[in-house]
Structures are given as C-alpha cells and as structure tokens.
Amino acid sequence: MDGHVTRTTMKLLPVLVFVCVVSSTADESASAVINMVVREGDDAVLSCSLGSRSIKQELFDWKKDGQKEVFMYDRGSHYNNNPSSQDPDFRGRVFHFEQQLDVGNASVVIRPTKVTDSGSYTCDFPFHQPRRRSHIVLVVGASPEPVIKILAETDKGVQVHCAVKGAFPKPVVQWKTRAGNIVPAEEPQVSERGGSYDVILQTTVTKTDYYQCVATQQEINHKIYTETLVRVVPGEFLFIIR
C-alpha cells in the first residue's frame, strides 16, 4: 500500500562454526556427519583438515551429493585456474585457503550461498593411504520478511492477508497479537517453487489491536515478523502498517 512503511523484526541465534578433522579406519574414513546452517547470501566455510602436515602435494576433492564437482585441488592445480570439470553451479564461487595448505587445511568457502547449495558435501583424499574423507550436511536458509495486506471489511470484521514468499526451509506462519496471543486463522496456503516455499495465511480480526504475522524456521533458528495496527470501527476501518 502506497505511503505505508513496513517494519520487521528478526531474531537469529548464532550459527555454530564446525571444524572437521578427517579420520580413518583401515580402508576409509568413518568420520561423523557434521551439520551446518547459514543464511542465503552468507559465506559457508566447509571445513576439512588432514592434520598439521602439508598437503601441497596432495589431491583433495570436494563433491556435493556424491556427484557434483565442487572443488578439486591436485598438487597446485585447482578449479579456479582450470574449471573445465567443475559443476557450473559452483564456478567462480568456491575458494580454498592457499596459505594454509602447509598446515593441512583443505577447507573451502562458498560465496555467496544460495538455497540450492543445500546438500551433502564430502571432502575426499582418494590417494592418501589410508583413504581420508569428511562429510558435511549444509542447509542454506532463505528468510524473507512477511508482507501484510488488507483484503476487505466484512460483517465479521477486517480480513487481513500475510504472504511469506521464497522461504527455505518451509516456515511455520502464524498470526499473533503484540501480546503474543495466537489469532485463529484459515488453513495456510502452501506452494513450492524452485526448492523454496510460498505461504499465505489469512485471518479476520474483530477488534482494534496490533497484529503480527510471524514466520518461524526452527531448522535455522530464525524468526521474523511484520506488525500492523488495525483499527476496527463499526461501519469503517483504518489499516496502518508500522
């Protein structure tokens, strides 16, 4: 609505930084799966290390979901100077830590991240004996702000509409009062497009109050809401977004 200002509030818990040192059995590594969560657009550092020894003359290979070539380093040659086999989704977006190869650091950074980067990543030293491998599951979350619109005034009250578009993981959307009380609403309309979710939630309010449309994504410890003041007056209404 022209002339109105939208104010949103976002809460995000700190993202943990994981350091994964590859381990091995007699034949191949059996390291635990590491889970990592970042917001879309942030950098994702995928950690992998062979210990404190130099890996300048080693080969290590990062893959996504067991197939996509993310980044390969082979004794000085790597995808940033020879990207022919690198998956197009990662070209120009993945970098290693060249100055830390002497201390065994095989980590890479993906920048900036996209929702489609979510997946399972492995760091493999295929020619090392015994073979070494680490495993990280990355979740890239998109957290768009809710958008509130007025629909209509009915004999039951004022209908308000909230849309959260392009979110990942799928958010739980609720209407609440400023005091935190849940406002009964219609069944949410949920659709998926390109790996992200659109959620629409409508409700009818019957008294003047501040109302919040709240989107919560527990998987990425994220909550964001937009607040609006709805004045309900018999025979007319005034809708203000604050």
Give CA–CA dist 130/31, Å, rounded.
13
Q: What is the pTM of this model?
A: 0.70
Per CATH, which fold does 142-241 belong to?
Immunoglobulin-like (2.60.40)
Give CA–CA dist 86/65, Å, rounded.
14
Q: Domain 14-141 in CATH: superfamily?
A: Immunoglobulins (2.60.40.10)
Q: How far are the Cα atoms of 9, 149, 240 from residue 2, in angstroms, in the given order?
A: 21, 11, 11
Task: Centre a 10 Å sphere on the Cβ of residue 71 and count the other Cβ atoms it contains.
Answer: 27
The length of the chain is 242
User: What string of pLDDT tens digits covers the 242 residues of the chain?
Assistant: 333 334 556 554 433 333 333 333 334 444 578 899 998 999 999 999 888 889 999 999 999 999 999 999 998 888 776 667 899 999 999 999 999 999 999 999 999 999 999 999 999 998 877 777 889 999 999 989 999 998 888 888 999 999 999 999 999 999 999 999 999 999 999 999 888 999 999 999 999 999 999 999 998 888 999 999 998 876 554 555 45
Give CA–CA dist 161/47, Å, rounded.
43
Give CATH 2.60.40.10 domain extents, the chain. 14-141, 142-241
Burial of 59 (0-12, 13-18, 19+ CB in 10 A): middle
